[in-house]
Structure 1
Amino acid sequence: MTDLPSGSKPVENSLPAGLKPLELAHHLQSQIQRGHAYARSRKHRFRWKSVAVRLTTLVLSAVSTIILGLQNLDPWTGTAFSLVAVVTVVSALEPFFAWRSLWVLMEDASYRFHRLEDDLSYYVASTPVDQVDPERVRAMFVEYQEIWDSLSSRWLKFRDAG
């Protein structure tokens, strides 16, 4: 099993035995599609969290600045300073959770899964059924595992940095 981010599904470490080369290719293709679906769902989640934090920071900063401009009212000045403190806290959330970095990581994984799926689909479509090379399919499976390995190790790096 590859080390996967929390909440993800385990990935098979080997291809099933006894399948014909074309069946093997279709099996790998379904695994690639599952990997891509995982990366896509996580990418959307991280993107929206990152955007929400950035927009919250922007709005709070703007409101704080406007309130500080109203210097004649002491309650407003206190509120403004409170909002500046909240902006500081909200700004600290993004690096802690690394949502933007994880969003970009999932973009990269999606690209790599798409590319592998396209390569496999083209190979299967352009090769006669009786000439599908199981070693070439296995090489693509190795690449599939490398995508997961890279995703997992980079995921851990971003989470440890937070």
Structure 2
Amino acid sequence: MTDLPSGLKPLELAHHLQSQIQRGHAYARSRKHRFRWKSVAVRLTTLVLSAVSTIILGLQNLDPWTGTAFSLIAVVTVVSALEPFFAWRSLWVLMEEASYRFHRLEDDLSYYLASTPAEEVEGERVREMFSRYQEIWDSLSSRWLKFRDNA
């Protein structure tokens, strides 16, 4: 996070903030997609391995199959342990929330700029929106650390 540059006219300041919000949103969006994919992959892998091992256990009198089933159950246990360790689902949801908040801030700023003549754009109002921008990053960073500490 950076401070707002000084010496800019309020409208230039608003455009600078818009570009920062867009970068923040792009970051959250890319991370959100990555975490969602990993979370879904782990869940599907767990589901498939559980189903296959259960089916194999149902085949009686086949010692090699029983051994395979027990091996798959062990693999399911390991795969199931990955999700809480990496917290992909939690991080995905966190990025979803950050995307929402960046969108909302961007909409507020865009509306303000569209509804206010350029010469009437108030620097203080833009600074308030920048403060909201920093709050989004502060919240995202502290919650990210919390998820990683719990892993």
Shift of residue 75 of structure 1?
A: 0.4
Q: How many residues are aligned here?
A: 151
Matching of residue 4 in structure 1 with residue 4 in structure 2: yes
Contact 1:2 1:152 in 2 (8 A): no
Name the structure with the higher helix share.
2
Distance 1:59 1:75 in 2: 19
List alignment gaps of at least 5 residues for structure 2.
none
State the superposition RMSD in angstroms.
4.3
SS at match of 2:5: coil
> Deviations 1:84-118 (Å, cap 9, x if unpaired)?
00000000000000000000000000000000000
The structure-2 alpha-carbon separation of the partners of 1:126 and 1:2, relative to structure 1 and needing over 3 Å to count, comes to closer
Shift of 1:155: 0.2
6 and 71 in structure 1: CA distance in 2 versus 1, 3 angstrom threshold: farther
CA pair 2-70 structure 1, distance change in 2 beyond 3 A:
farther
Counterpart CA distance in 1 for 2:137 and 2:25 is: 10
Q: Is the 8 A contact 1:3 1:152 kept in 2?
A: no
Deviation digits for residues 11-40 of structure 1, max 9, x if unmatched?
Answer: xxxxxxxx1110000000000000000000
The equivalent of 1:139 in structure 2 is: 128
For normalisation by structure 1, the TM-score amounts to 0.89
> Which residue does the alignment assign to 2:99?
110
Report matched runs for 1:32-43 at 5 Å: 32-43=21-32
CA distance 1:51–1:86, shift in 2 (3 Å) = same
Is the 2:4–2:13 Cα contact (8 Å) retained in structure 1? Answer: no
Is 1:148 aligned to residue 137 of structure 2? yes
